Structure 1
Amino acid sequence: MIDFHAHLDLYPDPQMIVREIAERGMYVLSVTTTPSAWKGTSALATPGSRIRTALGLHPQIAHERVGELPLFDLYLHETMYVGEIGLDGGPEFKPHWQTQLTVFDHILNACQLAGGRIMSIHSRRAAPTVIDRLVAFPRSGTPILHWFSGGKRDLQRAIALGCWFSVGPAMLVSEKARALVRNMPRDRVLTESDGPFAQIGGESAKPWDVGSATAKLAELWDDLTEDETDRLLHDNLRCLVTNTKAMKASVANMSGRGEDIKGGFE
């Protein structure tokens, strides 16, 4: 199973979650919400595990943590993954829109200057602007739009730009979301939980709940069985890992620091 967007450090007992991930042999991208959480969260990915950690600054708290951008720049060389980043156009966050843009642009520019990163991106009520900013920083890396909820035109633009998508069981409850997923390129889709924020049956989603997302995708892609859908998702991850290796080699050539960058899920 693959959970390409989970906040492992925000569960009440992260170590229990990590042990269960290991027992199930899962691949997990552990995203952070602030650069100051990077060291503690990356420590959850023990040597030999299939957990990788992304360096992030969440748009919903960008106005509170904009002062951590120097920390982001400091730690960026340690990972090929960046997230959770992006923009949030919800009414409660719109007063801080300009700060969100400043933070997002800074991060995209830093990723571009560093040779590119795999980026897990939040775009709630902000898909057109998120896509505009990705166009403005074309060498920032591979964008993976987490829980994408934009319109059809936004989806078409994102696909044309080469974006990937991560979808979870909580997202796939919505018919609008299911319609969007039907039109996403199957070879650019991964599963996610967005736990502990996402809720399933009134409880926080766990990384292993992505199994139900795989089942729901098989229903949407009705020419594939659940096992075939699972194999496709793992093929997608392998493709992304290949991209990560190529990106890491490019970074090493640019900076000579390739050896200390945590790379793909190999």
Structure 2
Amino acid sequence: MTVPAVDFHCHLDLYPNPQLAAARCGASGAYVLSVTTTPKAWRGTVKLSRGHDRIRTALGLHPQIAHERIGELALFDALLPETRYVGEIGLDGSPESKPHWREQQHVFDHVLASAERAGGRIITIHSRRAATDVLDTLARRRGAGIPVLHWFSGTKAELLRAIDMGCWFSVGPAMVLGKRGRDLVAAMPRDRVLTETDGPFAAVRNQPLEPGEVGRALGALADCWGMDALEAGVTVLASFRALMATAVGGPSAKA
């Protein structure tokens, strides 16, 4: 029995050969959410999914470049009606990004407010060293949609708050290499856990992860859940299909 992989956070357009990366997705049968870092990249990234009915493209504005691309918010608003997926967005509290914290907050709140006005979206969110601030903003924008916290690395208390708020989580192979990441994964509700790669940025043994390369993450989930990797894959796929079936906004369930 073969279970299609779920890669809910992958930067297809940033691989050295994006067309080849997309073709590999199609050949593998993986379900992939191709995230973008700027609104200007969205249309070009959508083109990568043509002919591949298991690839969807999210409209994003990454927090690490929010200060450089804040002028693209109007374009974000114009494109939002064309998709039901938003990402990568969020906040980043790392030392190199903190000097632009005000711009990050403005962009994040604006994007969530736009999603809220549009009826909600499925949203993949960056929260490195900023989990509490991300959750505070989400609490003010409850109608923004369904938040999926990508590569969550907050505290256990922040995780419990996120769970209580109805957040989902995407877990990649790089996240589960250490005990802390595995402990966080073990505390996540299994019906709200998806897999991801964050390729080409995330790597295992210095090798960038390919789209859909989530086997190590499934192995860690299987260990946490007391099942084998195949059962873990079936569980993730069922959760993914449940998320896709939600009545969150956007042009259609297929967009």
Of 232, 236, 240 in structure 2, the residue corresponding to residue 237 of structure 1 is 240
Q: Is 2:182–2:220's contact at 8 Å kept on the other side of the alignment?
A: no
Q: Is 2:202–2:208's contact at 8 Å kept on the other side of the alignment?
A: yes
Of 139, 146, 151 in structure 2, the residue corresponding to residue 147 of structure 1 is 151
Q: Which residue of 1 aligns with 2:80?
A: 76
The AA in structure 2 aligned to 1:196 is: P
Q: Which residue of 1 aligns with 2:110?
A: 106
Q: Is 1:79–1:263's contact at 8 Å kept on the other side of the alignment?
A: no
Deviation at 1:87, TM superposition (A): 0.1
Q: Which residue of 1 aligns with 2:12?
A: 8
Deviation at 1:221, TM superposition (A): 1.5
Q: Which residue of 2 aligns with 1:119?
A: 123
Q: Which residue of 1 aligns with 2:253?
A: 263
Of 51, 55, 71 in structure 2, the residue corresponding to residue 51 of structure 1 is 55
Q: Which residue of 1 aligns with 2:222?
A: 218
The AA in structure 2 aligned to 1:230 is: G
State the SS of the aligned residue for 2:143.
Answer: coil
TM-score (norm 1): 0.92
Q: 1:146 to 1:264 in 2, by over 3 A?
A: farther
1:137 aligns with 2:138: no
Deviation at 1:158, TM superposition (A): 0.2
Deviations 1:193-227 (A, max 9, x none): 000111111121112321221122112222x1211
State the SS of the aligned residue for 1:100.
Answer: helix
Aligned partners of 1:104, 1:210: CA distance in 2, in Å? 28
The AA in structure 2 aligned to 1:116 is: G
Q: Which residue of 2 aligns with 1:247?
A: 248
1:197 aligns with 2:187: no
Deviation at 1:264, TM superposition (A): 4.3
The count of aligned residue pairs is 251
Task: Report the more deviating stretch, 172-181 or 55-64.
Answer: 172-181
Q: Is 1:193–1:205's contact at 8 Å kept on the other side of the alignment?
A: yes
Deviation at 1:262, TM superposition (A): 5.2
Q: Quick one: percent identity of the two aligned structures?
A: 55
Task: Report the more deviating stretch, 65-74 or 46-55.
Answer: 46-55
Q: Which residue of 1 aligns with 2:64?
A: 60
State the SS of the aligned residue for 1:154.
Answer: helix
Question: After TM superposition, which residue ranges in structure 1, 4 or more long, deviate above 4 angstroms?
Answer: none
Unaligned runs of 5+ in 1: 252-260
Aligned partners of 1:216, 1:5: CA distance in 2, in Å? 18
Aligned partners of 1:84, 1:8: CA distance in 2, in Å? 12
Of 159, 166, 169 in structure 1, the residue corresponding to residue 163 of structure 2 is 159
1:92 aligns with 2:96: yes
Aligned positions of 1:13-28 closer than 5 A: 13-28=17-32
Unaligned runs of 5+ in 2: none
Aligned partners of 1:83, 1:108: CA distance in 2, in Å? 11
Q: 1:163 to 1:226 in 2, by over 3 A?
A: same
Deviation at 1:263, TM superposition (A): 3.0
Q: Which residue of 2 aligns with 1:254?
A: none
The AA in structure 1 aligned to 2:245 is: T
State the SS of the aligned residue for 1:49.
Answer: coil
State the SS of the aligned residue for 2:48.
Answer: coil
Deviation at 1:48, TM superposition (A): 4.8
TM-score (norm 2): 0.96
Q: Is 2:196–2:212's contact at 8 Å kept on the other side of the alignment?
A: no
**How big is the alpha-carbon RMSD for the aligned residues of Structure 1 and Structure 2?**
1.1
